[in-house]
Amino acid sequence: MRTLNLPLPANAEAALGRPARTYFALADSLSALADFAQAKGRQNGHGDWSGNKTLTEACTACRTGDLSLVARSDSLLARFERFTFATPAKAWRRDVSGHRPDVPALLAGHPAAMRRRVRLVTEAAPLAVIVDLTTSGSIDPADIEKRGAAILALCRILAGRRPVELWAGVMTQAFGREGVALFARIDTAPLDLARAAFAMVSPAYPRQMLYSLARGAYDFGGSWPYKSHNISRDYLADIMRPALPHIGEVLAIPAAHTNDAIHKAPEAWLESTLARLDGTGQAAA
């Protein structure tokens, strides 16, 4: 478990109109985040809204997974099998100008005697997928499951074709007007399907396990991060990058308000997101 706190990026701070900080708890596995939540969390409401699980039950399910939740994404997979993906990588290329000399070429009198760093579109380039599973309190649990199934289907398609680093968690308000980001990395080589299904599809992962952790360890009072409805949604990738400096291209899936496109039209969202990634080298924000 890695914990740190960082100031908001300059663009997010400018949009917010004041300085603010983000408190991060980043786990290398869902099990590690479950251990942290069980040790530090304060029980959230128990009922349909939070997945009909107590904090302890949600933590247990996070460790063991739930294959029964996989079926919701299965029906979406076959329709989108046609997509292939290329994402940007970086490589050194010979040129007449560049960052460093190519000594053998220089000694041989070759005009392209310098080397410069270029971005290449390659099927081997990794893609970081960051999923914020926070939702408006008015969103029905059934819609959370529908939204999660579409996101899981996207992750399954991507992980089957591209090197993917997957992070799933929530962002909430913390310590008054600050924010907290609680995220776990999910194994993708191969995809840890049972645990990924629980995290993505069940309301108990965000609304019970992670909200309980936010309440117990970060004084979460029920508001959006930084007491703003939009900052964590509009700047999710920028907020997460400083805490995950190793990542390259990012597909950021922000938190859901009531008009969220994913649960309103999951198939249309899935198709449009895959189309933006298909052969373009551009991650969808």
Report pLDDT digits (tens) over 27-56: 999 999 999 999 999 998 779 999 999 999
pLDDT reported for residue 103: 66
Same-domain status, 16 and 157: yes
Indicate whether 82 pLDDT > 90.
no
CB 40 within 8 A of CB 217: yes
Is 13 within a domain?
A: yes
Same-domain status, 228 and 128: yes
Same-domain status, 80 and 95: no
pLDDT reported for residue 177: 97
The secondary structure element, H or E, covering residue 16 is helix 10-16
Which residues lie below 8 Å from residue 39, measured CB to CB, with a gap of 6+? none
Same-domain status, 132 and 43: yes
Same-domain status, 155 and 257: yes
Same-domain status, 139 and 195: yes
Is 282 within a domain?
A: no
**pLDDT, tens digit, for every residue of 219-259?**
999 999 999 999 999 999 999 999 999 998 899 999 999 88
**Residue 236 to residue 284: CA distance in whole angstroms:** 12
Same-domain status, 25 and 102: no
CB 130 within 8 A of CB 167: yes
Q: Residue 246 carries which side chain, given as an amino acid letter?
A: H
Indicate whether 164 pLDDT > 60.
yes
- Which of the pair, 103 or 257, is modelled with greater confidence? 257
Same-domain status, 39 and 97: no
pLDDT reported for residue 283: 44
Same-domain status, 65 and 113: no
Tokens representing 72? 């919701």
Is 160 within a domain?
A: yes
Same-domain status, 104 and 209: no
Is 284 within a domain?
A: no
Last residue of one domain, picked from the residues 97, 122, 147: 122
Same-domain status, 170 and 251: yes
Same-domain status, 118 and 134: no
- Which of the pair, 83 or 54, is modelled with greater confidence? 54
135: domain range?
2-84+123-277
Is the torsion defined by CA of 171, 136, 236, 14 positive or negative?
A: negative
Is 12 within a domain?
A: yes
Is 62 within a domain?
A: yes
Q: How far is CA 116 from CA 47, 88, 227, in A?
A: 58, 16, 44
Q: How far is CA 147 from CA 196, 238, 243, 272, in A?
A: 14, 23, 26, 15
The secondary structure element, H or E, covering residue 23 is strand 21-27
Indicate whether 71 pLDDT > 50.
yes
Number of domains in the chain: 2
pLDDT, mean of residues 201-215: 97
Is 97 within a domain?
A: yes
Is 283 within a domain?
A: no
Pairing of strands 164-174, 127-132: parallel
Percent share of the chain, pLDDT over 90:
64
Last residue of one domain, picked from the residues 75, 107, 122: 122
